[in-house]
Amino acid sequence: MDQIAFIVEILLPALWGGFVVTLGLIACTAPFGVLIGAAVAVGRVYGNRPVQYLCRAYVTFFKGCPLLLLLFILYFGLPSVGISLSPFVAAVLGFIFCNSAYDSEYIRGSIRSIKEGQFTAGLALGMSRAQVIRHVILPQAMRRSIPGLVNEFVYLIKYSSLAYMITVIELTGAGKMVATRYFTYNETFFVVGLVYLFLVTLTTIGAHLLERRVSLPS
């Protein structure tokens, strides 16, 4: 069987299932990563002292813990204390913890870049602290943090391949199974790499369009 026939008839159908799982991992992780990251960032900037310490500890731990080690703890470690997670759920939770920790730093930096006078002006207009944060500060901060959040989204696409280490058969895992069975490592991983490149390129284009759409004059 020549290489073209192998790629079309065997490799691509086998990779499709892994590709769908990879998309599922990303779709389940990214929204929660941003939401939790925003909450942690707000807690670090505007929370009281205990909340600030708690949010800082969250970021420190999940930024400092290697993602692969975190996945091992969630999937292999938790059953020893009576908590059993499916491979997919363990992978999603690990990705959310890691993704949200980094997202919070991008959003926190954006919040810090907004002049304090806007917060004071909102309070002077009769808004509560929560209303000022929600309606004045966060909309601006999220706009400014788009490049950083997109960068972390790209990392998420690539480190989703680590889910294979806890038996989630995503794109890389599916490619590894085909390559091992047919001894076609070069062809298989070249195609897998092209798929990841396609996802990253699509994300970059989408991010550029999003930035243009939400950008403010001047």
Mean pLDDT of 214-218: 66
The architecture CATH gives domain 11-214: Orthogonal Bundle (1.10)
Is the predicted pLDDT of residue 2 greater than 80, yes or no? no
How wide is the angle at C-alpha 125 spanned by C-alphas 124 and 129, nearest 5°?
70
The pLDDT-based confidence of 31 (bands split at 50, 70, 90) is very high
The pLDDT-based confidence of 216 (bands split at 50, 70, 90) is low
How wide is the angle at C-alpha 157 spanned by C-alphas 156 and 161, nearest 5°?
95
Q: Nearest CA to 42 among 152, 147, 143, 137?
A: 137
CA–CA dist 76, 78 (Å, integer): 6
Percent pLDDT > 90 in the chain is: 75
* pLDDT of res. 52: 95
Is the predicted pLDDT of residue 1 greater than 60, yes or no? no
Contacts of residue 25, defined as CB under 8 A and 6 or more positions apart, other chains included, come to 88, 91, 92, 95, 160, 163, 168, 170
Is the predicted pLDDT of residue 158 greater than 70, yes or no? yes
Q: Where are the domains of the chain?
A: 11-214
CA–CA dist 189, 129 (Å, integer): 52
pLDDT digits (tens, 9 = 90+) for 170-187: 999 999 999 998 888 888
pLDDT digits (tens, 9 = 90+) for 137-153: 999 999 999 999 999 99
* pLDDT of res. 6: 82
Average pLDDT, the chain: 92
